[in-house]
Amino acid sequence: MRQRPGRRSWGAAAVLVVLASAVPVATAQAAPHRPGPLPLERLFDNRAVSDDARPADADFDGSGASLSARDLDAAGWTPGHSLAVDGARLTLPRTEPGERDNVRADGQSVRVRGRGDALAFLVAGTGGEASGTGTVRYGDGSKGTYRLTAPDWRAGPLATKAVALPHVNTPGGQLAEKAKLYVVTVPVVRGRDVTSVTLPKDPGAPDLHVFALSVRQPAKGWTGSWSTSTAGYTAVGPWADRTVRLVVHTSTGGPRVRIRLDNTFASAPVRIGSATVAVQGSGAGARGEPVPLSFRGKKGTELPAGAQAFSDPLDFDVPEDTNLLVSFHLPETVTTAPVHSQAIQRSYVSGPGDHAADGSPAAYTSTISTWPLLTGVDVSGGPGSVVLLGDSITDGVKSTQDANHRWPNVLATRLLQQDEVPRFGVLNQGISANRVIADRYPGDGVSTDTGGVSALHRLDRDVFAQTSARTVVVFEGVNDVRWGASADQVITGMREIAGRAHARGLRVVAATIAPCQGESLCTAAADAERTKVNAYLRGGDDFDAVLDFDAVLRDPANPARIRAEYDSGDHLHPGDAGLAAIAESVDLRLLEP
């Protein structure tokens, strides 16, 4: 098996598994001994990972099946490696194939420390979805409960998995079947120090397996200035020894910067050779020399399948409301990548070589209209961010290319030009064709469909894990009703979004669904369901506030249709004037937590 330099294989070195001391025999007078919280690895009691040549050494599910060590290594999930997923950092078990590498949850007390917004678990169920209630204890003596659900490692959804492996090992041979691991987060009380966690007890017939656990730390001192959502996993390039130079537009500014790269939905790692940031001059040309970024002190980094990487903080004056160039060199061949498909912005790819540090545009000989791998730009300081969870209207489809006329851009400019509320960063998490309750992209594999997984399935990654999120605005639902969903189904999904966001301490604002009569799928039946959803939003109390974008955009003479001056021409998407109108209609005070 070929191994990348500096990486440890699942079969590289043995590690001693320390078992808990034997409990003395209790007498009639003595209370049963209850050990205090232990590190998770001292509680491991199950073997999930096997060498392909010795599959019988592990038995993950009680029937002899297990995960392939070779597959994990190929995905970049090597033993002892620290992975970042959805803003959480989890350390993989430092074990050999066939050793105990996870614990079946049964009320064990686990030592874990930190202060953050959530507990992050690397989990999977066997025998079906596994669920149970556990306890979290804080340094001030208080405690609370949490509900943890682990999808099944073989039958669970691909849309929410952290990584999918191509095989299942069994004593009778290797099966060409997806095996999945999940990162699941549950909220904790912000501002309190977590000291220990009691795992769920008796979760039911299936087993709930825990491989790793941590407290997701908040991004102290950072504000999200720009972001985008991974909409799918597509064929690209191929890019071999090429530099990608992406153009992104800031909302708020600051004196320091960091970027976020995500290998969402991928099955293999991607190597970043180097990366830089610069203010855009013209086209692919920089204003001044691009400044090098680093990753944990190194020039480049590797992104394991499904994982992410933040660059180190860099002293760099990021202007507000300005285009940046974020460039990264891909030294190895990249044929597929996670992308945001509707950038509404031209970006650039170089000829051969590392041209990340080039101020000149000369090496950048081709253009692209997507944003691959890059998902965020953060600046230091600031009051936090407003996250806009939406579909193609939020994405900016039908707005003028390269002009930053999306309604989130107009909203960001309004925030910068006033002093009534904090000047929040604005994070655009719109995905064209996205729905509340159904996945367009299935969540795994190469696909030409880039409509993303559902708002419910991407909520943790695209809202809760976003840097300094304070408020979320939910503007979705038109694609659900256009494709046959009932109002009741959409309302149920919207209620779940509101409930989950409130549990994370976010302010939650909803926007009514815009009219679209005249577009082929916006039938009278679809409009009737849209109207019902809007009536719920206007009259309900699940959300902290409601923005009536329907009222802003509709034709007074025909409320089922967009006003002619706001229509881009397809009767579904507002043009520049319509997008500006909805952004200008927002009472900025409603965004403040």
Tens of pLDDT along 160-185? 999 999 999 999 999 999 999 999 99
C-alpha 171/C-alpha 181 separation (Å) is 21
Preceding peptide of 313 cis, ω within 30°: no
Question: CA torsion sign, 480 to 483 to 486 to 492?
Answer: negative
pTM: 0.93
- The answer to whether the beta carbons of residues 134 and 145 sit under 8 Å apart is yes
The predicted-structure confidence for 512-533, as pLDDT tens digits, reads as follows 999 999 999 999 999 999 999 9
C-alpha 52/C-alpha 451 separation (Å) is 36
What amino acid occupies position 109? S
Residues 6 or more apart in contact with residue 293 via CB below 8 angstroms = 258, 259, 274, 275, 276, 277, 311, 312, 314
**Measured between alpha carbons, how far apart are the two ends of the chain, in Å?**
53
**Which three-class secondary structure string do you get for 183-251?**
EEEEECCCCCCEEEEECCCCCCCCEEEEEEEEEECCCCCEEEEEECCCCEEEEEEEECCEEEEEEEECC
- The answer to whether the beta carbons of residues 483 and 528 sit under 8 Å apart is no
Give the 3-state secondary structure of residue 393.
helix
What amino acid occupies position 102? N
Print pLDDT tens along the chain (593 aa).
333 333 344 443 333 222 233 333 333 344 445 578 999 999 999 999 999 999 999 999 999 999 999 999 999 999 999 999 999 999 999 999 999 999 999 999 999 999 999 999 999 999 999 999 999 999 999 999 999 999 999 999 999 999 999 999 999 999 999 999 999 999 999 999 999 999 999 766 579 999 999 999 988 899 999 999 999 999 999 999 999 999 999 999 999 999 999 999 999 999 999 999 999 999 999 999 999 999 999 999 999 999 999 999 999 999 999 999 999 999 999 999 999 999 999 999 999 999 999 999 999 999 999 999 999 999 999 999 999 999 999 999 999 999 999 999 999 999 999 999 999 999 999 999 999 999 999 999 999 999 999 999 999 999 999 999 999 999 999 999 999 999 999 999 999 999 999 999 999 999 999 999 999 999 999 999 999 999 999 999 999 999 999 999 999 999 999 999 999 999 999 999 999 999 999 999 999 99
| Integer angstrom CA distances of residue 541 from 11, 168, 509, 535, 545 | 55, 47, 11, 12, 8
Q: How many CB atoms lie within 10 A of CB 154?
A: 19
C-alpha 294/C-alpha 314 separation (Å) is 8
What integer pLDDT is reported at residue 219 of this predicted model? 84
C-alpha 148/C-alpha 133 separation (Å) is 6
C-alpha 514/C-alpha 565 separation (Å) is 15
What amino acid occupies position 42? R
Q: For residue 457, what is the enclosing H or E element?
A: helix 455-459
Radius of gyration of the chain (CA): 25
Question: CA torsion sign, 518 to 520 to 525 to 531?
Answer: negative
The DSSP letter of residue 152 is: B
Q: What tokens does 59 get?
A: 């038995």
**What percent of the residues of the chain are helix, what percent strand, and what percent coil, each to the nearest 5?**
15, 35, 45
What amino acid occupies position 444? D
Give the 3-state secondary structure of residue 290.
strand
**Which three-class secondary structure string do you get for 45-84?**
CECCEECCCCHHHCCCCCCCCEEEHHHHHHCCCCCCCEEE
